[in-house]
Structure 1
Amino acid sequence: MKRLSLWKRQYLSKGGRLTLLESTLSSLPTYFLSLFVIPKRVCARLEKIQRDFLWGGGALENRPHLVSWKVICAAKKDGGLGIRSLAIFNKALVGKWLWRFGNENDSLWKQIISRKYDIQEGGWCSKGVRDHYGVGVWKAIRNGRENFRTHSRFIVGDGTRVKFWKDLWCENQSLEDAFPNLFNLTANKEGWVAEAWEEDGVGGSWGLRFNRHLNDWEVGEVESLLSKLHPLTVRRGVDDLLWWRENKNGTFSVKSFYSSFSRGIRPPFPARIVWTPWVPIRASFFGWEVAWSRLLTIDRLKRRGWSIPNRCYLCKNEEETTDHLLLFCEKAKMLWLLIFSLFGVQWVMHSL
């Protein structure tokens, strides 16, 4: 709160406030967020301080927040301001410990956690923490294991640490989900990849065992399964590896994990036009508000309960809207024509 004292906003444009936000509350708590899971009330309080500083609100004022905080926390290319969401950033930072647990074998911290909670089958994570008393750091980190698993997969070596049916190691779907009927018929649902591999003099092949003889319509599914397994082999003496799916090199990064949380279908946004390096950031911020149609024109003020006549104060003829004020007003048209003529641009303004 000292870094974002409300008096500072009196001397800063919205672009300056954005720059200060990115260098304070989005960065200061990184050390704590990388180890401890942030309580929801603390996260809400910190984000409220950020919102009030950006839009100029506070305990003594009631300034409107023109764009939702969820949109603001999106990347600039997706129409946001690139301010990190503290809750999502916390999950991405904590995920680093789950990655390190699966890849670091000789670390002292891992040995301590393994002795206290025991190792899960395969050794990629500890068993679930079920104690109801106290607040354990690892207990909070371990709760994000299932989400972490959806973004990782395994590269099979000798196959002794990867479940044949339940783990993700063959293409982008577990065999249990890809072939549910065969999974119900298999004799060993908890079997390892190494147990399904049969070595011979030539090299080896996949051997699948089921509880009963297969019907004709089930043989086709087995053929499809074997065609998936055909390019894969078990290599004795080679360790199984944990692979991060969000990076091309397979290595975990906080940035890639954070991006996976905010990924989704978003409407196209003219980010390259709005955020250009040769334009002052305060002008870019204004263009960003225009692109979202969030300027406090009279038509938007009336929606918020203001009782004022809606007339453009420049031309006195039409209602004041964002499009009218910046494009179709007679005064604005004259300004656009003047700018176009100075730069030799031939342009015809479209009509409403």
Structure 2
Amino acid sequence: MFTEQLPASVCSSLDKINRQFIWGGEEGKSSFHPIVWDQMVVPRSQGGADIRPTRLANQAMLAKGAWKLATNDQALWVRIMKGKYGQSREGLDILKNTKGSSFAWRSFSHSTDLLRKGCAYNIKNGKKAKFWTDVWLMQVPLNSVATQTIPEEFLQRRVAHYWHEDHGWKIDELADYLGAETLETIQAFHFDPMTREEDKLRWNLTTNGSFTTRIAYQALSPPLVPSKSATFWKSIWKLHVPERVRVFIWMAVENKLTTKNIRKFRHLTTDDSCPYCENQRRI
């Protein structure tokens, strides 16, 4: 899963095994699933069980290998693969598919969109980061806030291209494409194009800039509005009791326990009376 994109059928089969294990199902027999799979895969802090679907877990793991290809020049496997398929490209551009690429390289290339969403450049000499299409100044690329379409030939220009050694930023070249507020933000940003330090990619979704598969998985997961606060859900999963008790409490809060009225609703029984007092009240 760290080096190859699994087929959709394999991901579905693995998820099916997970569901059967969780709910006690057997091959060839249907079993009762009190909670739908879409909720099971939601993080615990949002009211789910934090069971990672195989497809998203695979994508997050592949993104880790892709991140190393884009940032780690020292590892032997990185140097071999970059030398064979990278064609002297830099940064995230190295992950582009080329004719004759291996299946592993093509699998890594599928992570490009995720990495672009979560990474940014620390500007040193401005000679690696692309001024318009890379994230380096704001939370989004500058071409996404441009007041008019950026010419195609400008998109490959690096940050250092718009810096004059004596006068600073070439505002006159940018004024036609960026608004006044954005230009002010650029003017407030200073760097040293003469330094030997190169621009470096950082993972913008963590405080220390390090890539983690956990955060990558969260970035892939669709945003949800939890029914209760994260503090409430975390308090359940932090209880010092056996895991089955925590699961029981979680299901009780979600009203998903297989009580007799739920079993009758699902046509698993015809009697929803209390087994202790035999009253005709739903329990």
TM-score, with structure 1 as normaliser: 0.70
**Would you say 1:267 and 2:235 are equivalent positions?**
no
- Structure-2 separation of matches of 1:162 and 1:191: 9
Matched residue, 1:248: 207
What is the deviation of 1:135?
5.7
Q: CA deviation at 1:39?
A: 1.8
Distance in 1, matches of 2:154 and 2:96, equals 23
Which of 15, 20, 26 pairs up with 1:47? 15
Q: CA RMSD in A?
A: 2.8
The answer (yes or no) to whether the contact 1:122–1:162 under 8 Å persists in 2 is no
- Structure 1 counterpart SS, 2:211: coil
Q: How does 1:186-335 map to 2 (within 5 A)?
A: 188-200=154-166, 204-210=167-173, 222-235=179-192, 236-237=194-195, 238-262=197-221, 264-269=223-228, 270-306=232-268, 308-320=270-282, 325=283
- Give the fraction of aligned pairs with identical amino acids, expressed as a percent: 23
User: Match of 2:73?
Assistant: 105
Q: Shift in Å at residue 193 of structure 1?
A: 0.8
Measured after TM superposition, the shift of residue 194 of structure 1 is 0.5
Q: Distance in 2 between matches of 1:186 and 1:205?
A: 24
Is the Cα–Cα contact under 8 Å of residues 66 and 294 in structure 1 kept in the other structure?
Answer: yes
Deviation at 1:246, TM superposition (A): 1.2
Aligned equivalents of 1:108, 1:273: Cα separation in 2: 45
Letter in 1 for 2:262: R
Cα deviation, residue 318, structure 1: 4.4
Superposed displacement of residue 166, structure 1: 1.3
The residue correspondences of 1:176-191 to structure 2 (distance < 5 A) are 176-181=143-148, 183-184=149-150, 188-191=154-157
Q: 1:228 to 1:119 in 2, by over 3 A?
A: farther
Structure with larger Rg: 1
Q: Which runs of 5+ in 2 are unaligned?
A: none
Amino acid at match of 2:170: G
How far apart are the structure 2 equivalents of 1:199 and 1:186?
26
Range that drifts further, 148-157 or 293-302 = 293-302
Alignment check: 8 A CA contact 2:133 2:142 kept: yes
> TM-score under structure 2 normalisation?
0.85
Amino acid at match of 2:134: D
Judge conservation of contact 2:147–2:179 (CA < 8 Å) in 1: no
Q: SS state of the match for residue 158, structure 1?
A: coil
Letter in 2 for 1:107: A
Equivalent pairs, count? 278
Displacement after TM superposition at 1:153 (Å): 0.7
Deviates more, 1:101-110 or 1:172-181: 101-110
Q: Deviations over 1:71-109 (max 9, x none)?
A: 222222222223333222221221112221222224333
